[in-house]
Amino acid sequence: MIPSAASLLRALRGARPLALLSALALLGGCNAVVLDPAGDIAQQQAWLIVASTVLMLVIIVPVMALTVLFAWRYRQSNKEARYEPEWDHSTQLELLIWAAPLLIIICLGALTWVSTHLLDPYRPIARVAEGKPIAAEVEPLEVEVVALDWKWLFIYPQYGVATVNELAAPVDRPINFRITSSSVMNSFYVPALAGMIYAMPGMETKLHAVINKAGNYEGFSANYSGAGFSGMRFRFHGLNDAQFAEWVAKAKAGNGPLDRNVYLKLEQPSENVPVARFAGIEEGLYNAIVNMCVEPGKMCMSEMMAIDAKGGLGKEGIRNVRQLTYDKHARRGAVLASEPVVVGAICAPPAPVRQAAAARPAADQAPLTGAGLPRPGASATADAKPSRPTNS
């Protein structure tokens, strides 16, 4: 039996209170962390959102109200409304229509200009909270962040520990983040702490922030990066000094050191990775990650740029490559990827090569000679006879 329109209308009217209560229940579960954060930088950003919204509503609300007023006042059934078919201009209305938005744009522009510089993520913070400047003896906490497939790696160079999918910091202590990625673009975001900052391979971005309230907060990637993107979440712990010391002690009691071999295994794609801790960090690991030269013998991007700044290697540089068994494209499942190669290090050889060169006897350090050229520092007559080149 098909219900009538009247019965459907009665059913809808009866469902209104239930729908309203359901909506209120859903809204009650919302966590407005963006507008009520626990970090000073995020609080300033929240104030900026509110101030910008209020300034825009100064125009939007009167326009919406006037729209309803005009529609009601000049409706067809209102015979008392003024009827002026020849009206076409009003200087007062023109001034009001153009002056008000112009003033709002000026205010928004000034607010944007000031906040863009004051809240620059690359700018070190000057306070831990409103009216509370940073004490001179306080040392900022250094954290090196690496976005992996699909987890987060946090390195604490001051304490010699590293963690996966877990971040901690003392309350009211400035935090200096250095952020990069291993393969594709991601974004580092802790809503309670500060705004979102991108993590990009071969580049380093920075973020300066502080947490003002102890607690357990959520962090995640806000930029889609592949199949395991939904699992790129971590917990950020705001701790007091004693609790942070205990957390560092637990990290030092975790797994073994994080060296290049361990990192290369950790760098491989994996999803929903549990928290892991490492005690000890290989020196220069983060810089090698940024310069994309963690693999032994691979030339770093900084070396490539230094060579390019001097004019490059020319055609011979094309042959300065080696085959890789594990490459960025191949490991992410690209079936049509080209044969993986890597530029071999020539500017700064690996540590074993440097150690061997330093231990070489002095007798083997003969200078290079060329055909028809004298040795450096020798007279032209002494070395007039061309000498055979030797390698050092």
353 located within any domain = yes
Same domain, residue pair 152 and 182: yes
Could you give the CA distance from residue 291 to residue 329 in angstroms, rounded to a whole number? 17
Question: For residue 267, which of 194, 183, 195, 208 has the smallest C-alpha distance?
Answer: 183
Range of the domain at 65: 31-73+95-119
> pLDDT for 313-327, tens place per residue?
777 666 666 554 444
Same domain, residue pair 179 and 229: yes
H or E segment and range at residue 178: strand 175-181
Mean pLDDT, to the nearest integer, of 256-280?
Answer: 91
344 located within any domain = yes
Please give the residue that has the higher pLDDT: either 77 or 248. Answer: 248
113 located within any domain = yes
Same domain, residue pair 215 and 270: yes
8 Å CB contact between 210 and 125: yes
Omega of the bond prior to 113 within 30 degrees of 0, cis? Answer: no
Same domain, residue pair 306 and 282: no
324 located within any domain = yes
What's residue 23's pLDDT?
Answer: 54
Q: Are strands 166-170 and 233-239 parallel, antiparallel or unpaired?
A: parallel
18 located within any domain = no
Same domain, residue pair 310 and 285: no
User: Is pLDDT at 364 greater than 50 in this prediction?
Assistant: no
Same domain, residue pair 271 and 318: no
Mean pLDDT, to the nearest integer, of 51-59?
Answer: 90
What's residue 381's pLDDT?
Answer: 47
What burial class does residue 197 get, using C-beta atoms within 10 Å of its C-beta: 0-12 exposed, 13-18 middle, 19+ buried?
buried
Count of domains for the chain: 3
DSSP-derived secondary structure letter, 1: -
Band (pLDDT 50/70/90 cuts) for residue 285 is very high
CATH number at residue 207: 2.60.40.420
What's residue 35's pLDDT?
Answer: 82
Same domain, residue pair 59 and 136: no
15 located within any domain = no
Same domain, residue pair 139 and 187: yes
41 located within any domain = yes
DSSP-derived secondary structure letter, 229: G
- Quote the crossing angle between the two packed helices 40-73 and 91-118, to the nearest 10°: 170
User: Is pLDDT at 236 greater than 90 in this prediction?
Assistant: yes
Same domain, residue pair 246 and 175: yes
H or E segment and range at residue 107: helix 91-118
Mean pLDDT, to the nearest integer, of 141-146?
Answer: 96
Same domain, residue pair 153 and 241: yes
266 located within any domain = yes
Which residue has tokens 């995020």? 42
Residues 6+ apart with CB under 8 A from 102: none
Indicate the range of 6-15, 90-99, 252-261 predicted with least confidence: 6-15
Same domain, residue pair 276 and 167: yes
8 Å CB contact between 206 and 171: no
Mean pLDDT, to the nearest integer, of 151-164?
Answer: 95
Cα torsion 91, 92, 94, 95: sign: positive
Reading the block at residue 95, the tokens are 């001034």
Mean pLDDT, to the nearest integer, of 295-300?
Answer: 82
**Phi-psi label, residue 37: left if phi above 0, alpha if psi -120 to 50, beta otherwise:** beta
